[in-house]
Structure 1
Amino acid sequence: MNEHIIAFILGIVEGLTEFLPVSSTGHLILVGNLLGFKGQKANTFEVIIQLGSMLAILVLYWKRYLSLLNFSTIRKPEKKLDAIHIILGVIPAAFAGLLLHDFIKTQLFSPKVVVISLVAGAILMIFAEKKHGNFTSNTVDELSYKQALIIGLFQCLAVVPGFSRSGSTISGGLLAGANHKTAAEFSFLIALPIMVGATGLDLIKSLHFLHTSDIPLFSIGFIAAFVVAMFVAVLFLKLIEKIGLTIFAYYRIVLAALFYVFVIL
């Protein structure tokens, strides 16, 4: 298959799965294997198209990010999401990612780990749906610093390939007392700094694999991921309170089975 068509397909896959609790990494590995697109070039391509999804979040929430730069709002009596919430949501996973980066890339990026993580993440999501208590935060502006930190700690699970950053953070949000939409929206907001940092580090380490001849390939995937991710993020926020996480958990189990059959066997 033509590489440009493959880039378009994988860009769509990335855009569809980056913000859903289903593991974009697992999908990209599975579809990449089915299309025969593997190796270091494919790994670098995945880094590039993830930045396309991150750009979608920046476009959707640029006003919110700008408001976070106004530190004068911090600790005012009225409830409002501020920069400290984002910092608390990002710091745990940032430290975990930096400390474990080389170990993760060399030891955990394996099909078996992805299968186990898909199932483990599904179990966490089902548990969160069944065990969450009454919701105390119905908008992101009602989140407490404690809730932001709890969600940030759950995000550490996402350093394991296949676990899903969205799945772990939304589950953590539910268990911390945030409703589905609030947990999902905060998950999106803390995605940008953590993913830009992670993909930026990967990109720096992959620069010697980049060639000018690959620009069209990377551009197609980047644009496809950006456009699709924008639509998916908006739609997901509208639907998450109605459909919950359980349906995605069962989907992950099916995906793990497909992954085992088509990638591991």
Structure 2
Amino acid sequence: MDLLMIIKAIILGLVEGLTEFAPVSSTGHMIIVDDMWLKSEKFLTAHGANTFKVVIQLGSILAVVVTFKDRFIELLGLGRLNMHAVQKETRLKLTQVLVGLIPAGVLGVLFNDYIDDHLFSTSTVLIGLVIGAVFMILADLFGSKNPKTQTVDQISYGQALTIGLIQCFSLWPGFSRSGSTISGGVLMGMSHRAAADFTFIMAVPIMAGASLLSLLKNWEYMTMDALPIFIAGFISAFVFALLSIRFFLKLINKIKLLPFAIYRIVLAIVIYFVFL
């Protein structure tokens, strides 16, 4: 196996890991990378490239599971977080997570083929990047300066459902799942950190389910020749996603969404003029 291919797989894992849970759209970044680089590789046919992207996305999902492992253990009824100051009845419930998942989950199943066939292109990603950035700016401008919902354990069912409905916008590549849901949460009276925590927790089941189904469909492309590339990309995505999530959660209440919105707009402008 060519060492250069391994290095490229690590770089692509880095892109996935750093962007999957930041509000900049990992799907958008991967489509751009796919159009400009990934499809040119000999070992990656169209199906092989899709399988590779699924594998590295699973690396990012594992990073969230590791970061929120105690939370997931509690949600599944296997234990409790060691937080005595919070009463059991005020804890985040699994049903609230499910309420947030339903809208985008249903639309995703109904329109998955249409989205794959018509929206996965660099030009549609640029539209999503810009419109999503505007939405994030509006959230920072009009969100409460003293939000009542400071932690994810204070979220209501109404907030969970509204965030779930807003998450439907992220089905458009480039809009960003975390960008839409964090913005929606802020506009619903949540702190940036509370909205981010709920976003990450809610992302695991829907992303894991979609990724595993896709992986099963494309299992034949997991050849021995490509396996080192998949492993390198998976490990790279896991490591960089783990670092990205922890860094993001520490800073989100301080820096809010504006820096990410500016980055998205600048990226869209650069891609448009340089590559389109």
Q: TM-score, normalised by structure 1?
A: 0.93
Shift of 1:37: 4.1
Q: Does 1:207 align with 2:219?
A: yes
Query: Structure 1: which 5+ runs fail to align?
Result: none
Aligned to 1:79: 90
Aligned to 1:66: 73
Spell out, residue by residue over 1:177-201, the C-alpha distance to the aligned partner (whole angstroms, 9 max, x if none): 1100000111110010111122223
Instruction: Identify if the C-alpha distance between structure 1 residues 229 and 77 changes in structure 2 by more than 3 Å, giving closer, same or farther.
Output: closer
Aligned to 2:84: none
Spell out, residue by residue over 1:210-251, the C-alpha distance to the aligned partner (whole angstroms, 9 max, x if none): 322111000000000001111110110110111110111111
Give 3-state SS (helix, strand or coil) of 1:213's partner: coil
Q: Does 1:116 align with 2:127?
A: yes
Instruction: Identify if the C-alpha distance between structure 1 residues 72 and 85 changes in structure 2 by more than 3 Å, giving closer, same or farther.
Output: farther
Equivalent residues of 1:30, 1:262 under 8 A apart: no
Give 3-state SS (helix, strand or coil) of 1:27's partner: helix
Code of the aligned partner of 1:168: S
Aligned to 1:92: 103
Aligned residue pairs: how many?
Answer: 262
5 Å-filtered alignment, 1:161-240, equals 161-240=173-252
Instruction: Identify if the C-alpha distance between structure 1 residues 144 and 212 changes in structure 2 by more than 3 Å, giving closer, same or farther.
Output: same
Equivalent residues of 2:35, 2:122 under 8 A apart: no
Code of the aligned partner of 2:266: V
Structure 1 stretches of at least 4 aligned residues deviating more than 6 Å after TM superposition: none
Shift of 1:71: 9.7
Code of the aligned partner of 2:167: Q
Shift of 1:204: 2.8
Equivalent residues of 1:48, 1:218 under 8 A apart: yes
CA distance in 2, matches of 1:77, 1:198: 31
RMSD: 2.0
Q: Does 1:143 align with 2:155?
A: yes
What is the percent sequence identity of the aligned residues?
49
CA distance in 2, matches of 1:6, 1:129: 36
Give 3-state SS (helix, strand or coil) of 2:89's partner: coil
Query: Structure 2: which 5+ runs fail to align?
Result: 41-45, 81-86
Code of the aligned partner of 1:110: S
CA distance in 2, matches of 1:111, 1:27: 9
Aligned to 2:260: 248
Instruction: Identify if the C-alpha distance between structure 1 residues 242 and 7 changes in structure 2 by more than 3 Å, giving closer, same or farther.
Output: same
Instruction: Identify if the C-alpha distance between structure 1 residues 12 and 155 changes in structure 2 by more than 3 Å, giving closer, same or farther.
Output: same
CA distance in 2, matches of 1:40, 1:240: 36
Give 3-state SS (helix, strand or coil) of 2:90's partner: coil
Code of the aligned partner of 1:10: L
Equivalent residues of 1:166, 1:187 under 8 A apart: yes
Equivalent residues of 2:64, 2:200 under 8 A apart: yes
Code of the aligned partner of 1:200: L
